[in-house]
């Protein structure tokens, strides 16, 4: 946890590593930049500066929100697929150290997105970038954390659910026959929401638990903030009276160990874990439905919910832009 008064050069890999005071600065600045964007007021905080986006995996929101962010801030983001770079050279791949120590001479920040077959490796990879770089490294999602999504999500909640303390936030697993999403979003979000005193419920079939260290962190956060954290496999119970529903598919941490067929059979046991309008009827009248997208419509959630009155999904996606502009403006 940095106690420095300056944000310049700081990494963002896990929101837990930023103090509540620092995060408050991010949220206030996000809202300020959001208003300035809406009225077309220039805010070129990163004029002529460069942000390198290193992608080991595909993306829509992340790439486009960061690239548009840099344009709005007066700079430019490089869309770098590792397969077009020397670190992806099959003959003699360049080491991360050498790639990073060169990029830091040309530009001002590095973003990395990576998913890896073995849980934890993606996270370690991003930390290797951060260790080598003298310029800030921002995680654009690893297998463990998605800090910018978590910040966008909390900003959205704060905009729509006033006084978030003791409000009921439900993070729920959702069925999809084919999507194999990493657990970064639920993991980041239960950690961040518990810091803000929310009553956080993690609802999932018992096999779809998260990283035990993350669960432990969420519990500790709740204790410190005066909120609560509970796990359950009772989906309906979780929905009852909820203020926020965040329901989305993710893989278990050990599909790899059990094999492809067993994994598919396991997933297919829970075909009824779809977010429907009937389920939403159990929540508070003013509750919001959240999903970080992409969504497997009809499986994870029905279109009736996605396009219905509770849905906050596009406002949530928009806030990626604003929080990222705030973070980049602060650290670069």
What is the contact surface with a copy of itself in residues (CB under 8 A)?
42, 44, 47-50, 52, 55, 58-61, 63-65, 67-69, 71-72, 74-76, 78-81, 84-89, 91-95, 98-99, 101-103, 105-107, 176, 178-180, 293-297, 299, 306, 313-314, 317-318, 321
Which residues are CB-neighbours of 212 under 8 A, at least 6 positions away? none
Instruction: For the CB of residue 314, give the shortest distance to a copy of itself in the complex, in Å.
Output: 5
Tell me the sheet residues that pair with 246: 171, 290
CB of 88 to a copy of itself, least distance (A): 7
How far apart are CB 2 and a copy of itself at their closest, in Å? 23
**Measured from the CB atom, is 113 or 195 closer to a copy of itself?**
113
C-alpha dihedral (277, 294, 208, 290), degrees to nearest 10 = -50
Q: Cβ distance 32 to 25 under 8 Å?
A: no
At residue 233, the 3 state secondary structure works out as coil
- In the chain the first and final C-alpha atoms are separated, in Å, by 18
Would you say 231 or 296 has its CB closer to a copy of itself? 296
Closest distance of CB 168 from a copy of itself, Å: 26
Q: Which is nearer to a copy of itself, 168 or 299 (CB)?
A: 299
Of 72 and 217, nearer to a copy of itself (C-beta) is: 72
CA angle 82, 84, 87 (to 5 degrees): 50
Minimum gap (Å) between residue 14 Cβ and a copy of itself: 24
Nearer to a copy of itself, 6 or 48 (CB): 48
What token pair was written down for 188?
């980041």
CB of 284 or CB of 318, closer to a copy of itself: 318
Quote the least distance from Cβ 17 to a copy of itself, whole Å: 27
The span from the CA of 127 to the CA of 31, in Å, is 29
Nearest Cα to Cα of residue 153 among 265, 319, 327: 319
The helix (run of H) or strand (run of E) holding residue 112 is strand 109-113
């Amino acid at each position: 946890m940095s106690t420095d008064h300056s944000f310049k050069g700081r990494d963002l890999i896990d929101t837990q590593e930023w103090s509540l005071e620092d995060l408050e600065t991010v949220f206030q600045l996000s809202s300020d930049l959001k208003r300035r964007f809406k009225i077309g007021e220039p805010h070129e905080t990163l004029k002529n500066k460069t942000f390198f986006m290193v992608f080991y995996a595909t993306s829509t929101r992340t790439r486009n929100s960061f690239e548009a962010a840099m344009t709005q801030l007066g700079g430019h983001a490089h869309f770098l697929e590792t397969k077009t770079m020397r670190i992806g050279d099959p003959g003699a791949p360049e080491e991360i150290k050498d790639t990073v120590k060169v990029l830091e001479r040309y530009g001002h920040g590095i973003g990395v997105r990576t998913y890896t077959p073995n849980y934890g490796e993606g996270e370690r990879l991003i930390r290797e970038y951060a260790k080598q770089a003298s310029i800030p490294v921002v995680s654009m999602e690893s297998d463990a954390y998605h800090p910018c999504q978590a910040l966008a999500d909390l900003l959205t909640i704060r905009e729509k659910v006033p006084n978030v303390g003791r409000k009921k936030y439900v993070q729920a697993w959702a069925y999809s026959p084919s999507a194999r999403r990493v657990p970064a979003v639920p993991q980041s979000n239960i950690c961040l929401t518990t810091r803000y005193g929310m009553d956080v419920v993690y609802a999932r079939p018992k096999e779809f638990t998260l990283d035990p260290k993350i669960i432990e962190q969420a519990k500790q956060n709740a204790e410190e903030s005066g909120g609560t954290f509970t796990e359950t496999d009772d989906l309906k119970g979780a929905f009852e009276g909820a203020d926020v529903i965040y329901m989305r598919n993710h893989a278990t941490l050990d599909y790899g160990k059990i094999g492809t067929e067993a994994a598919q059979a396991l997933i297919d046991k829970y075909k009824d874990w779809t977010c429907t309008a009937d389920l939403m009827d159990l929540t508070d009248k003013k509750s919001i439905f959240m999903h970080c997208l992409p969504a497997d419509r009809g499986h994870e959630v029905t279109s009736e919910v996605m396009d219905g009155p509770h849905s906050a999904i596009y406002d949530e996606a928009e806030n990626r832009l604003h929080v990222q502009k705030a973070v980049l403006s602060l650290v670069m």
